[in-house]
Structure 1
Amino acid sequence: FQAACQALGARQKFTRPHCPWTNGKVERFNRTMQTEWAYRKVFTSNAQRARALAPWLDFYNTGRRHTALDGQPPISRLSPRS
């Protein structure tokens, strides 16, 4: 993970321990993931549910409109590398 962050020029940030209110973005993502993926349909096995995760994450990041981004998906916030 550290090597990937370094290669991307990304910096890892941590929230303060025992302060969930400082972690609103992740808490909101977890809520969305529960309602739109985990509990949207009945999965008959953990393997079936695990297979459904990657396509949902791809949709969430590249196709799903986000109100906080003026109706754009998160991928729209990334700049192509020069």
Structure 2
Amino acid sequence: MTAFAACIFALAALASALTIAATLRRHGADALALRARLAECPETLVLTWKVMERVPLPTLAALRKRPARRIPARLEWPGATIDLAA
């Protein structure tokens, strides 16, 4: 790694750390008090989560009644023809 790239990486890491620190300083107290504020609410909200399994669907090729017609791939260049199927 060149010295320039290392300096850019270090500056980006410093900027990221300063941004995280500023965000924690600004919103940290509110985030920590959120659980107490939610406990004080007279109304409750119940969330229920359900998990659904994903079943793999058949591919479109399996649903075809006739097999797909394959066209051989050919690459044409001025003065030469190359057969890609071979």
Higher RCO (CA 8 Å, separation ≥ 6 residues): 1
Larger of the two Rg values belongs to structure: 2
Do the structures match in fold with TM over 0.5?
no
Structure 2 length normalisation: TM-score? 0.24
Q: Hey, which of these two has a bigger chunk of strand by percent?
A: 2
Structure 1 length normalisation: TM-score? 0.25
Q: Hey, which of these two has a bigger chunk of helix by percent?
A: 1
